[in-house]
Amino acid sequence: MSATVSDRWSGEFAHDLSNMLPADPHSVQVRAAFNQFPAAVGAVCALVDGERTGLIASSIAVGVSYDPPMVLFSVRKDSQTWPVLRRAPRIGISILSEHQGAVCQQLSARGRDRFQGLTTESGEAGAVFVQEAISWLDCSIAAVTEAGDHEVVVFRVHAVSVAESANPLIYHQTRFRILQATRDG
Ligand SMILES: Cc1cc2nc3c(=O)[nH]c(=O)nc-3n(C[C@H](O)[C@H](O)[C@H](O)COP(=O)(O)O)c2cc1C
């Protein structure tokens, strides 16, 4: 007999306040809790001194504001790319599609040309977009705030392009996954 939703809540999904663990920095528990959060993956890219520059981020949050349209992402303070990338007047965010796991790995790799063989488009003000992504956001930096070992970067979105029938690449528990509709939906 298959388990009902309430059976599962009292079993494998049950939480217990008395078993909560301290959120120590770098602890396995914090990593596990954060890794349970599924995230879309974005390529944050621009032309800087004529060179395509970029990194991958799964910390992107959209709809931070709708008027004006704003999104944000969080970048490690030890990033070598961000201090260069942030000089661009416009920065492109391409939300990757479900078949772009290899693109994600390439654009986050160190010690190689991240853009080798990648088809991109560059806006007039320097935002760089990855082809076959599900959406493109043409952004400028509106605010930067410190957050522990990261900086939170808030972007103003100036222009968008959407491929509505395409599905996103999902990063969850350190693996790439694809979305599936539920029967309830
Ligand atoms: C799936 C995935 C998600 C990532 N998300 C972030 C992120 O949100 N913020 C961040 O600073 N780096 C993130 N990274 C790492 C960066 O893409 C990049 O590898 C890192 O910034 C080191 O390169 P850099 O020193 O050139 O910046 C992510 C990497 C992967 C593969």
- What CATH number corresponds to the domain at position 131? 2.30.110.10
* Local structure of 130: helix, strand or coil: strand
Query: Is residue 91 situated within a structural domain?
Result: yes
Whether 74 is in the pocket of ligand 1, judged by its Cβ within 6 Å, is: yes
Whether 169 is in the pocket of ligand 1, judged by its Cβ within 6 Å, is: no
| Ligand 1 atom nearest 82 alpha carbon | 27
Query: Is residue 148 situated within a structural domain?
Result: yes
**What is the model's pLDDT at position 1?**
46
Q: How far apart are CA 165 and CA 174, in angstroms?
A: 26
User: 9 C-alpha to center of ligand 1: Å?
Assistant: 34
Query: Is residue 67 situated within a structural domain?
Result: yes
Cβ neighbours of residue 71 closer than 8 Å, sequence gap 6 or more: 60, 61, 62, 63, 64, 93, 137, 139, 154, 155, 157
Which protein residue's CA is at the shortest distance from atom 18 of ligand 1? 108
Query: Is residue 162 situated within a structural domain?
Result: yes
Of 44, 69, 86, 53, give the one whose Cα is nearest residue 159.
69
Hey, which of 51, 98, 108, 172 would you mutate to test ligand 1's pocket, going by the most ligand atoms within 8 Å of its Cβ?
Answer: 108
Q: What is the DSSP letter of 96?
A: P
**What is the model's pLDDT at position 2?**
52
Query: Is residue 167 situated within a structural domain?
Result: yes
Query: Is residue 50 situated within a structural domain?
Result: yes
Q: What is the pLDDT of residues 148-169, one digit of tens each?
A: 999 999 999 999 999 999 999 9
Q: What share of the chain is helix, strand, coil (3-state, %, to 5)?
A: 15, 40, 40
* Local structure of 3: helix, strand or coil: coil
Query: Is residue 3 situated within a structural domain?
Result: no
Which residues form the domain of 115?
A: 37-173
Q: How far apart are CA 170 and CA 104, in angstroms?
A: 11
Query: C-alpha angle 131/132/137, rounded to 5°?
Result: 65
Residue 62 pLDDT exceeds 80:
yes
Query: Is residue 15 situated within a structural domain?
Result: no
What is the count of structural domains for the chain? Answer: 1
Least confident of 8-17, 72-81, 96-105, 171-180: 8-17
Q: What is the pLDDT of residues 6-53, one digit of tens each?
A: 555 566 778 999 999 999 999 999 999 999 999 999 999 999 999 999
Mean pLDDT confidence for 62-71: 98
User: 184 C-alpha to center of ligand 1: Å?
Assistant: 34
